[in-house]
Chains A and B, each alone.
Chain A
Amino acid sequence: MGPVTLALFVGFGLLIGILFGFFGMGGSFLVTPALLVMGYPSRVAVGSGLAFVFGTSVIGALRHRDHGQVDYKLAAIMTVAMTVGIEAGKRVVDSLHAAGTADLVISVTYVGLLAAVGLVTLRDARSAGESSGVDLSERVQALEIPPMIAFRGDVRVSGTLVAGLGLVVGVLSGFLGVGGGFLLMPAMMYGLGVPAAIAVGTDILQITLSGAFGAFVYAKDGLVALPVVATLLLGSALGARIGAGATSLVDDDEIKGYFAAMLLAGSLAVATKRIGTAYDVEILTTASIALVFGATVLVSGAVVLAAVCRLRDGHADAWCRLVTS
């Protein structure tokens, strides 16, 4: 690995670390396409992506724990329920694969889910907490189905419903073949009413456990490029600290706004790539990659700028007006 490649990996790791520490998502979603672009075989890209997500999430989880933003009870219930759900989701994929429609159905569902969650989050961020999402979590909390469990952030909700939600998120994760961060965080925020920062911290702990298992499975087949993972981690370890620290400075509604931007960019990128592959249009595939990397640079830059502006209390500054409410 030459010095330029090394610097590129460390720099890219830094950006991903910022997003991961801030949102609790975006690891394999960004690393796997980057490794594919650099010519790594697809299974090595996926395996290395999972190992990288595991390492970054360890750092993110430790950092969020320091900020008191992890709910262990919630993470434990979600992990068990999601593990069961993922297995069920994989079976759905197997049956679709047998019918020959797996690729199309998964792509359309992925694009639809990213866009739908992105739009709901964006609407909620813009209406400053007065949307129907808050009403939903209040209704869920009002359902007295035993056992009722108290979570961090003054949230008291039925453990049965939490497990049910984890099961649904797990089925979708297994079906789409993704870690589930982009689904779990909004599910906890809108479904259960968990504050955004605690939803991110708990989500990252859950990703640590699933990332470790995923990395182990791929490593058994020799499908993890350790030098790549180690180099990316050099940057992401610092980025995850910055991102997790920024969640304490930036408002919940701003977090939701950036999260929505990432999801919508992701949705557009997946749709563009799918159309590009289906009709063999090279420029659409290139545009999809540019969209993913452009969104990474822009959103991570906006997160850092918003945090710095909060520190400076510099809302009057022209740059700060772009990123703070």
Chain B
Amino acid sequence: MIDVASLPATAQALLLVGAVLAESIILYVGYGAITAAVGADVRRALRGE
């Protein structure tokens, strides 16, 4: 296990930016999957069909 607190400040900052990037991509893919699954139904419901 890597002790993040013991890493140099630059490495910690890179890890943080990487963590934000990873979360963003995971959320993009996750919400994308949900949109693909129910998006068409939601659009139809909004059109009142």
Contacts and interface: CB of A to CB of B under 8 A. Distances in A.
A63 B48 CA distance: 26
Chain B interface, DSSP helix/strand/loop, else mixed: helix
Contacts of A313: 47
Chain A interface, DSSP helix/strand/loop, else mixed: helix
A27 to B, nearest CB: 13
Interface in A195-251: 212, 215-217, 219-222, 224, 226, 229-230, 233-234, 237-238, 241
A62 to B, nearest CB: 5
Given A219-B17, A311-B46, A234 B27 contact: yes
A313 B23 CA distance: 36
B25 to A, nearest CB: 7
B13 A220 contact: yes
A51 interface: yes
Given A308-B46, A312-B46, A55 B20 contact: yes
B43 A233 contact: no
A51 B16 contact: yes
A226 B16 contact: yes
B24 A220 contact: no
B9 A221 contact: yes
Nearest to B13: A219
A58 interface: yes
Interface in B1-49: 9-10, 12-14, 16-17, 19-21, 23-25, 27-28, 31-32, 35, 43, 46-48
Given A219-B16, A226-B20, 20 more contacts: A54-B21, A55-B23, A56-B24, A58-B21, A58-B25, A58-B28, A212-B17, A212-B21, A215-B20, A217-B13, A220-B12, A222-B9, A230-B20, A230-B23, A233-B20, A233-B27, A234-B27, A237-B31, A238-B27, A241-B32
15 contacts: A55-B21, A59-B24, A59-B27, A215-B16, A215-B17, A219-B12, A224-B16, A226-B19, A229-B20, A230-B23, A237-B31, A238-B27, A241-B28, A241-B32, A311-B47
Interface of B: 9-10, 12-14, 16-17, 19-21, 23-25, 27-28, 31-32, 35, 43, 46-48
